[in-house]
Amino acid sequence: MMHVDEKKPIDGRLRWRCRRGLKELDVLILPFLEQSYSNLSASLQDDFVRLMAEEDVDLLDWLVNGIPVPTSYRAIVDAILGRPLSL
């Protein structure tokens, strides 16, 4: 049984949700999933999963266009944007 504070492995459903189909998002989200997700706290992992349920247009605004991020996503968006891009 997994406790609330336990980290979760990357599963196929999460990987699929990270494939957004917009290059601007894919160059941020997929590398973050592969390289950083496993090192996040359980809380930030949960935030990432919730973020991936948002609409592409909102993700594009928050991650690319500089539109203010809702408080509930600020830490995970900062983590995604704070890592070097791998193009």
Q: Is residue 87 part of a domain?
A: no
Per the domain annotation, does 43 fall within a domain?
yes
Residue 13 maps to a domain: no
Can you give the residue range of the structural domain that contains 42?
A: 22-81
Coil, strand or helix: which one is 71?
Answer: helix
Q: Which helix (H) or strand (E) holds 81?
A: helix 74-81
Note the pLDDT of residue 84: 54
pTM of the shown model = 0.83
CA angle (34, 37, 43) in 5-degree steps: 165
- The count of structural domains within the chain is 1
Residue 33's pLDDT is 94
Domain membership of residue 4 (yes or no) is no
Residue 16 included in any domain? no
Tens of pLDDT along the chain (87 residues) come to 445 556 666 778 888 888 888 899 999 999 999 999 999 999 999 999 999 999 999 999 999 999 999 999 999 999 999 965 554
Return phi, psi of residue 7, to 5°: -70, 150
Q: Is residue 35 part of a domain?
A: yes
Quote the CA–CA distance of 56 and 61 in Å, as a whole number: 9
Backbone angles phi, psi at 29, to 5 degrees: -80, -50
What are 73's two structure tokens? Answer: 């996503």
